[in-house]
Amino acid sequence: LEEQVRHAQKMEAVGQLAAGIAHEFNNLLTVVAGYAGLLERRLSPTSIERSSPALLHRYALDILTAVSRAATLTGQLLTFGRKQQQQLAPLNINELVTSSVRILRPLLEPHIAIVTDLSPDLGIVVADQQQLEQVLTNLAVNARDAMPHGGTLTLRTLNVWHESRPESSTPALFRSRQASDETIRMNPYVLLEVADTGLGMTEEVRQRIFEPFFTTKPVGKGTGLGLSVVEGIIAQNKGFITVTSEVGKGTAFQIFLPRGELL
């Protein structure tokens, strides 16, 4: 029965995703069709309407923006669906954080500080390095967007024993993770926390952040897929993710990855 429930939930998630994609693509196609139609009419030899080159240029730009957004969307969907090519290897998360900071630095504005607080005796995890880099990138981009006036991004690692189901987790989180409740309770984890000192979010927003296409960002800025991708990747690596947030104070994501034997 549990298997059937899981399958049904998966199908529901896939259906939701497909509906979201269709909706999103339709919106973008409408934009492209609209401006292409305008260009066609204004540039037609028989057209009596005259348009300034600046206006025509504007239409072309709007088409390019919509197309680029569609490309971002398909790019993220590819990540979303990329399950088979997972490359598992023993990883030291401290090293991953240190190397990722170099990649993240140019992504963040100069007025955002990056602080690392790495546990010296961190256990190893078996995971896909590229996937985890993607997770850090997505979380860092969100942190940046939440700190328009600057702030601090803190990356922290710690060995933990996870004793109970975290209170702050979302239903979606538990729907997609692989481990049973028993595994969660008994097993050692490496905790990787990504915290910002940004705007934070309300309880209503917090409950929806892992939904595909849920975004509070302006059109053209957010796809609402960043955290869905994060959640999917963490589940594929047999971990789970929780979040704590306070409006005006900041947000922290806690990523729990199953710890291998201590070396």
Task: List contacts with ligand ADP (CB under 6 A).
Answer: 138, 142-143, 146, 196, 198-201, 205, 209, 214-217, 222-228, 251
- Token readout for 252 is 């922290």
Q: How far is the CB of 201 from ligand ADP (least distance, A)?
A: 4
- Minimum CB distance to ligand ADP smaller for 144 or for 177: 144
- Minimum CB distance to ligand ADP smaller for 206 or for 259: 206
- Minimum CB distance to ligand ADP smaller for 20 or for 198: 198
Hey, which residues does 116 pair with through a beta bridge?
Answer: 155
- Token readout for 45 is 């030899």
Q: How far is the CB of 25 from ligand ADP (least distance, A)?
A: 16
The answer to whether residues 194 and 142 touch, using CB atoms and an 8 Å cutoff, is no
- Minimum CB distance to ligand ADP smaller for 226 or for 258: 226
Nearest alpha-carbon partner for 235 in 72, 19, 1, 9: 9
- Minimum CB distance to ligand ADP smaller for 198 or for 239: 198
Residues contacting residue 3 through CB under 8 Å, at least 6 positions apart: none
Tell me the residue number closest to ligand ADP, measured at CB.
226
Q: How far is the CB of 150 from ligand ADP (least distance, A)?
A: 14
Q: How far is the CB of 14 from ligand ADP (least distance, A)?
A: 18
The amino acid present at 246, given as its one-letter code, is E
Q: Could you count the other beta carbons within 10 Å of the beta carbon of residue 234? A: 25
Q: How far is the CB of 120 from ligand ADP (least distance, A)?
A: 27
**Residue-wise over 131-149: b if at least 16 C-beta within 10 A, else e?**
bbbbbbbbbbebbbbbbee
- Minimum CB distance to ligand ADP smaller for 91 or for 139: 139
Q: What are phi and psi of 194, to 5 degrees?
A: -120, 110
> What is the helix, strand, coil percentage profile of the chain, to 5?
50, 20, 30
Q: How far is the CB of 58 from ligand ADP (least distance, A)?
A: 25
- Minimum CB distance to ligand ADP smaller for 108 or for 146: 146
Report the alpha-carbon distance of residue 188 to residue 24 in Å, rounded: 40
Q: How far is the CB of 193 from ligand ADP (least distance, A)?
A: 12
Report the alpha-carbon distance of residue 252 to residue 245 in Å, rounded: 6
